[in-house]
Amino acid sequence: MAVSDDLGYTAQGIATLMRRSSQYDLEQIKKTVDQYRPDCIVMGLPKNMNGTLGFQGEKVKQFAEELKSVLQQKIVFWDERLTTVSAHRAMLEADMSRKKRRERVDQIAAVLILQSYLDCQNQK
């Protein structure tokens, strides 16, 4: 998970949610939303390389519906293609150990997704 600064310019990683069950996941996300009070939630949407939505993308949309019913929060979907690859590349360039890369890849990917969204919003 990641959050932006108050001005909406930069994204910072805050935690990695270790998925357990829908109920647990929703509770943890609600705690995070209550703590940071974001204007909206940006969810990475996994798409196929040709831009279509696959099985994982459908699962994300279904989870977002559950999340909306718990939070009553605006959810924005953001294309997450190649963010994990980019996260691995950035950590390799930073000479991060394999163990640390495994532990942090999802958090770095979340930062990249949010930063991409923020950059797009700030260009408008």
Residue ranges making up the domain that contains 81: 2-123
Residues 46-71: tens digit of each pLDDT: 888 888 888 999 999 999 999 999 99
Closest CA to 79 of 49, 37, 35: 49
For residue 100, with 0-12 CB atoms within 10 Å meaning exposed, 13-18 middle and 19 or more buried, which class applies?
exposed
The domain that holds 66 is classified in CATH as 3.30.420.140
Residues 93-109: tens digit of each pLDDT: 787 777 776 777 788 88
Task: Decide: 112 and 87 in contact? Cβ < 8 Å.
Answer: yes
Total number of domains constituting the chain = 1
Q: What is the pTM of this model?
A: 0.83
